[in-house]
């Protein structure tokens, strides 16, 4: 039924499909990736196979015993088997590349995986001598031998292996690619099956050629992965590729660049059509690695991937990049200086999920970091930060927050007040201290809730009347500067305190002196309004920054809290002593009350007595303690006075 001319037509169709695929691939210049090259090889194999098919179609399987036609037939069959044997292994290799499975051929496992291919290929190559794969008998013509059966088995193995790899990577393959690969598998399966059961129906090569057209359209075409105009991969491609690498346990070095002053440079040199990375940095980036290892997940972020089996010197590359960014760039008539942080992280050691990678990409890097390249231990902070952020957000539902109290004393060692200090007991991370989580809370916007929580807790405590009974004059509550800048801040504070019917002068807010000059106006207005309401104010951590002294004193605060570092510094050096003495003298002359924190020893108290401070706070009296312990502490202290 399926005569030679039918099969000739099928083979010509396959050839045409392959040639179109090949031409299109070259027109679109999809030739530089390993993946592209395998694709081209597969198409070339299919071209050879369809030509063999055409020759069989023209002359049949028994074209005589000698002469020119006989020679052509022999060569074409030989070419067919030598190349076709490589088809499925190559497709398997293609899937490996697509899924970022390591292509390191040195390992034992890799050698083992390609063993069936080596064996069957040797059979095909040596067939003229051995005739294990096919033979040509006088009178009968072409004959399949057991070797061909082995080739089919080997092909089946690679077919299944490809399936397994794809299955493992399935979740991180884009929908379009999935459809194309299923299409390909189904077509090839049907083609091979038909040819197996109906020997004279030679549709396998056509099925493969058409299947690969699907692959060309959906997989080789990367329009959805490439950032238009820039030629680099986009955020979605990065997410998918890193997902594949993680799933297939591929080792990877990742270099992340944060361009801190992108907007500034864009404003200076840019216009509507300018893309800073494409216009200024593109050539430089491409001189470091191939374009398909470069991703631009955000306009001011660049990511480069280096496979560990190829690059052992990612460290040096990162250093070189950082050094290059220390220098300037020439663009049009401008000289541009980028301010860039370079991060070097390893997958899967330091980055264990795509969300961790995007956390590193999307979150600010400490800009004051002295190091050129952040790597290794430097990255712990990012991981830890991430964990802290999740702890913060689950904190309120899991009741992790608790307010501790640290008493303050008059210089004559009589109880004076207390400072409320937040603590966190997280189910996963254990006890957390505010020095770590307050800055994170400020960044992720949870600081308002935390400060509200502290103020409410303090008000609830004060409303019990216990602190008053024990001789406490007021309780200090820390405010973050960010919070003071919020609209309706004063109203919110008032609302909370009034709800608990607490005397406003019982609450003493502590603010730090790290006030940026331009924020100063708003802040002083807020403080003035709260002071008029009756609240007290302390200046916290005095002496740590380089403060604008006159500005601070014009805020008219009630107490100045001298930072513990000044006290401790005074014990270490003569200069430190001079600084402490003069700081205290100056504040005294300004007629302000002085509290010194970090008091740990009797000697320190004697010194401070001499210098004439008003209040003391420190471990000498008590560490910050939970409310119940604090109540016991102040009850004891007040009983001792009586």
Which residues bind to Ca ion, rule: CB under 5 A? 478, 510, 540-541
Q: Taking the complex as a whole, how short is the minimal distance between the CB of residue 634 and Ca ion, in angstroms?
A: 19
The secondary structure of 318-343 as a DSSP string is HHHHHHHHHS-EEETTEEE---EEEE
CB of 490 closer than 8 Å to CB of 525: no
Q: Taking the complex as a whole, how short is the minimal distance between the CB of residue 523 and ligand C2E, in angstroms?
A: 14
Report the alpha-carbon angle 460-465-470, nearest 5: 125
Residue 449 binds ligand C2E (CB under 6 A): no
- By a kind-dependent CB cut-off of 5 to 8 A, residue 99 interacts, out of ligand C2E, Ca ion, none, with none
Report the alpha-carbon angle 583-588-593, nearest 5: 105
Helix orientation angle between 34-59 and 67-84, rounded to the nearest 10 degrees? 150
Quote the CA–CA distance of 377 and 355 in Å, as a whole number.
20
Residue 269 binds ligand C2E (CB under 6 A): no
Q: Taking the complex as a whole, how short is the minimal distance between the CB of residue 391 and ligand C2E, in angstroms?
A: 16
What residues have CB less than 8 Å from 621, skipping those under 6 apart? 407, 408, 409, 599
Q: What beta strand segments (E) does 274-320 contain? A: 294-298, 301-307
Q: Taking the complex as a whole, how short is the minimal distance between the CB of residue 626 and ligand C2E, in angstroms?
A: 13
Q: Among residues 284 and 433, whose Cβ is nearest to ligand C2E?
A: 433
Q: Which of 28, 402, 519, 600 binds ligand C2E (CB under 6 A)?
A: 600
What residues have CB less than 8 Å from 440, skipping those under 6 apart? 385, 388, 389, 392
Q: Taking the complex as a whole, how short is the minimal distance between the CB of residue 477 and Ca ion, in angstroms?
A: 9
Site mask for ligand C2E (CB under 6 A), range 462-501, x = bound: ----------------x-x---------------------
Q: Taking the complex as a whole, how short is the minimal distance between the CB of residue 499 and ligand C2E, in angstroms?
A: 19
The secondary structure of 476-506 as a DSSP string is EEE--HHHHTSTTHHHHHHHHHHHTT--GGG
Pairing state between β 340-347 and 373-375: parallel
Residue 598 binds ligand C2E (CB under 6 A): yes
Site mask for ligand C2E (CB under 6 A), range 143-182, x = bound: ----------------------------------------
Nearest alpha carbon to residue 91 among 44, 45, 42? 42
Q: Taking the complex as a whole, how short is the minimal distance between the CB of residue 590 and ligand C2E, in angstroms?
A: 21
Residue 597 binds ligand C2E (CB under 6 A): yes
Give the interface segment with ligand C2E, choosing from 256-264, 347-355, 520-528, 616-624 (CB under 6 A).
Answer: 616-624
- By a kind-dependent CB cut-off of 5 to 8 A, residue 471 interacts, out of ligand C2E, Ca ion, none, with none
Q: Which of 60, 214, 231, 434 binds ligand C2E (CB under 6 A)?
A: 434
Quote the CA–CA distance of 176 and 615 in Å, as a whole number.
71
Q: Among residues 308 and 544, whose Cβ is nearest to Ca ion?
A: 544
| First-to-final CA distance of the chain | 117
CB of 340 closer than 8 Å to CB of 367: no
CB of 374 closer than 8 Å to CB of 342: yes
Give the interface segment with ligand C2E, choosing from 34-42, 204-212, 528-536, 618-626 (CB under 6 A).
Answer: 618-626
Give the interface segment with ligand C2E, choosing from 251-259, 428-436, 548-556, 607-615 (CB under 6 A).
Answer: 428-436
Q: Among residues 213 and 617, whose Cβ is nearest to ligand C2E?
A: 617
Residue 457 binds ligand C2E (CB under 6 A): no
Segment (H or E) for 135: strand 134-137
Determine the number of helices (DSSP H) and then strands (DSSP E) in the chain.
28, 19
Quote the CA–CA distance of 284 and 93 in Å, as a whole number.
31
Residue 557 binds ligand C2E (CB under 6 A): no
CB of 298 closer than 8 Å to CB of 365: no
Nearest alpha carbon to residue 452 among 496, 512, 398? 496
- By a kind-dependent CB cut-off of 5 to 8 A, residue 294 interacts, out of Ca ion, ligand C2E, none, with none
Residue 451 binds ligand C2E (CB under 6 A): yes
CB of 416 closer than 8 Å to CB of 615: yes
CB of 100 closer than 8 Å to CB of 251: no
Q: Taking the complex as a whole, how short is the minimal distance between the CB of residue 457 and Ca ion, in angstroms?
A: 16
Contacting ligand C2E within 497-526 (CB under 6 A): 510
Q: Taking the complex as a whole, how short is the minimal distance between the CB of residue 406 and Ca ion, in angstroms?
A: 9
Q: Among residues 169 and 622, whose Cβ is nearest to Ca ion?
A: 622
Residue 433 binds ligand C2E (CB under 6 A): yes
Q: Among residues 271 and 603, whose Cβ is nearest to ligand C2E?
A: 603
Residue 417 binds ligand C2E (CB under 6 A): no
Site mask for ligand C2E (CB under 6 A), range 81-100, x = bound: --------------------
Q: Among residues 59 and 401, whose Cβ is nearest to ligand C2E?
A: 401
Nearest alpha carbon to residue 85 among 125, 129, 132? 125
Q: Among residues 417 and 624, whose Cβ is nearest to ligand C2E?
A: 624
Q: Which of 101, 541, 592, 595 binds ligand C2E (CB under 6 A)?
A: 541
Site mask for ligand C2E (CB under 6 A), range 24-63, x = bound: ----------------------------------------
| Cα 302 to Cα 277, 340, 342, 388, 600, distances in angstroms | 8, 10, 10, 26, 49
The secondary structure of 237-280 as a DSSP string is HHHHHHHHHHHTT--EEEEEEEETTHHHHHHHH--TT--HIIII
Q: Among residues 342 and 595, whose Cβ is nearest to ligand C2E?
A: 595
What residues have CB less than 8 Å from 166, skipping those under 6 apart? 95, 99, 173, 181
Residue 407 binds ligand C2E (CB under 6 A): no
Q: Which of 209, 237, 438, 596 binds ligand C2E (CB under 6 A)?
A: 438
Helix orientation angle between 87-98 and 146-169, rounded to the nearest 10 degrees? 10
Q: Taking the complex as a whole, how short is the minimal distance between the CB of residue 541 and Ca ion, in angstroms?
A: 4
Residue 619 binds ligand C2E (CB under 6 A): yes
Q: 282: which 2 tokens?
A: 């593109």
Residue 574 binds ligand C2E (CB under 6 A): no
Q: Among residues 113 and 539, whose Cβ is nearest to Ca ion?
A: 539
Residue 618 binds ligand C2E (CB under 6 A): yes
Find tokens 């980036």 and name the residue: 285
Residues lying near ligand C2E in the complex (CB under 6 A): 406, 421-422, 433-435, 438, 451, 454, 478, 480, 510, 540-541, 597-600, 617-619, 624
């Amino acid at each position: 039924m399926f005569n030679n001319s039918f099969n000739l037509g099928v083979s010509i169709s396959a050839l045409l499909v392959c040639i179109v695929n090949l031409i299109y691939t070259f027109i679109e210049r999809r030739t530089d990736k390993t993946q592209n090259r395998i694709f081209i090889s597969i198409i070339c194999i299919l071209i050879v196979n369809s030509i063999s098919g055409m020759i069989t179609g023209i002359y049949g399987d028994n074209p005589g015993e000698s002469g020119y036609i006989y020679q052509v037939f022999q060569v074409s069959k030989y070419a067919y088997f030598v190349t076709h044997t490589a088809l499925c292994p190559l497709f398997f290799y293609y899937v490996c590349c697509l899924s970022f499975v390591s292509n390191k051929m040195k390992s034992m496992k890799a050698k083992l995986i390609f063993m069936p291919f080596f064996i069957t290929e040797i059979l095909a190559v040596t067939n003229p001598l051995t005739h294990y794969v096919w033979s040509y008998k006088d009178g009968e013509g072409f004959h399949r031998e057991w070797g061909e059966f082995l080739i089919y088995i080997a092909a089946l193995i690679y077919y299944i292996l490809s399936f397994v790899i794809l299955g493992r990577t399935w979740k991180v393959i884009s929908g379009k690619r999935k459809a194309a690969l299923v299409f390909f598998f189904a077509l090839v399966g049907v083609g091979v099956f038909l040819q197996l059961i109906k020997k004279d129906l030679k549709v396998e090569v056509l099925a493969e050629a058409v299947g690969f057209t699907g692959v060309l359209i959906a997989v080789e075409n990367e329009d959805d992965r490439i950032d238009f105009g820039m030629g680099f991969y986009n955020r979605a491609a990065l997410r998918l590729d890193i997902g594949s690498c993680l799933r297939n346990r591929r080792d990877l070095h990742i270099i992340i660049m944060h361009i801190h002053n992108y907007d500034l440079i864009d404003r200076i040199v840019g216009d509507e059509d300018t893309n800073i990375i494409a216009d200024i940095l593109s050539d430089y980036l491409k001189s470091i690695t191939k374009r398909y290892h470069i991703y631009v997940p955000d306009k001011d972020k660049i990511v480069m991937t280096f496979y560990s089996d190829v690059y052992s010197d990612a460290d040096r590359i990162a250093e070189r990049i950082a050094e290059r960014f220390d220098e300037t760039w020439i663009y049009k008539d401008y000289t541009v200086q980028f301010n860039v942080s370079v991060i070097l992280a390893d997958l899967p050691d330091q980055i264990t999920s795509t969300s961790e990678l995007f956390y590193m990409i999307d979150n600010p890097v400490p800009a004051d970091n002295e190091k050129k390249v952040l790597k290794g231990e430097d990255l712990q902070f990012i991981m830890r930060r991430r964990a802290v952020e999740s702890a913060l957000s689950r904190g309120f539902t899991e009741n992790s927050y608790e307010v501790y109290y640290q008493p303050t004393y008059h210089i004559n060692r009589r109880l004076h007040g207390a400072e409320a200090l937040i603590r966190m007991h997280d189910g996963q991370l254990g006890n957390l201290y505010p020095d770590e989580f307050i800055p994170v809370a400020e960044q992720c916007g949870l600081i308002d809730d935390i400060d509200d929580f502290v103020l409410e807790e303090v008000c609830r405590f004060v409303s019990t009347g216990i602190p008053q009974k024990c001789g406490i004059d007021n309780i200090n509550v820390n405010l973050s500067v960010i919070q003071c800048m919020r609209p309706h801040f004063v109203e919110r504070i008032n609302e909370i305190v009034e709800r608990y019917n607490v005397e406003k002068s019982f609450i003493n807010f502590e603010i730090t002196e790290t006030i940026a000059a331009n924020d100063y106006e708003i802040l002083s207005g807020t403080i003035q309004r709260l002071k008029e309401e009756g609240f007290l104010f302390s200046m916290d951590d005095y002496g740590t920054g380089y403060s604008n002294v006159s500005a601070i004193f014009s805020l008219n605060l009630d107490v100045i809290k001298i930072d513990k570092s000044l006290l401790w510094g005074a014990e270490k050096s003569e200069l430190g002593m001079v600084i402490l003495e003069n700081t205290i003298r100056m504040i005294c002359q300004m007629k302000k009350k002085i509290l010194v924190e970090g008091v740990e020893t009797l000697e320190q108290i004697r010194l401070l007595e001499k210098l004439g401070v008003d209040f003391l706070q420190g471990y000498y009296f008590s560490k910050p303690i939970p409310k119940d312990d604090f109540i016991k502490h102040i009850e004891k202290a007040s009983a001792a006075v009586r």
